[in-house]
Every structure is written in C-alpha cells, then in structure tokens.
Amino acid sequence: MNGMELLTGPPTTCKVSSVLNRDRKQYGPQHLFDGLNDTCWNSDQGSSQQVWLSFNRTVMIKRIELMFQGGFVGEE
C-alpha cells in the first residue's frame, strides 16, 4: 500500500478546522489527497488552521509532505 492509498482508503478520516466560505465542494478537505495540483483545501481566514487525520488503526508514519499555495503560508 502506498502513502496515498493509506490516506484515501477507508477507514481513514480527515477533518479540518475550517473551509473557505464553507464551500466544501470547491475547497473541502477531500482535495488534500486527490493527487491534483490544481485543487486544494482552502481554510477560512484566521490563524491556526488545522488538519486532523484518524487512521482508526495502528500505522507507522515515515514521512509527511505538505505543499502550500504560494503567498498564503501563515507567518506564525
């Protein structure tokens, strides 16, 4: 099982702190793992945006890669 399968396959669940304008279809957390460079999860404004992953089983995490949209990374 590759990393993307681990994140997209059941019973993994993903929750986020907010979604821009509550538009889950266009900016929801499903876009975190869709493998497309032209989509993304987009949070509402404010500090402390968060992503929670629940694997509902024991997993060994070896690496996490995050790609931020240019110009929108928080300074804190």
What's the pLDDT tens digit per position in 5-59?
Answer: 666 666 688 899 999 999 999 999 999 888 888 888 999 887 788 999 888 888 8
In a domain, 23, yes or no: yes
In a domain, 40, yes or no: yes
Residue 14 structural domain: 3-54
In a domain, 20, yes or no: yes
In a domain, 68, yes or no: no
What's the confidence (pLDDT) of residue 11? Answer: 67
- For residues 50-72, average pLDDT: 80
In a domain, 69, yes or no: no
In a domain, 25, yes or no: yes
Total domains, the chain:
1
In a domain, 65, yes or no: no
Peptide bond into 10 cis (omega under 30): no
What's the confidence (pLDDT) of residue 17? Answer: 94
Residue 2 has pLDDT above 70, yes or no: no
Put simply, whether the predicted model's pTM sits higher than 0.85 gets the answer no
Cβ-based burial of 39 (10 A; exposed 0-12, middle 13-18, buried ≥19):
middle
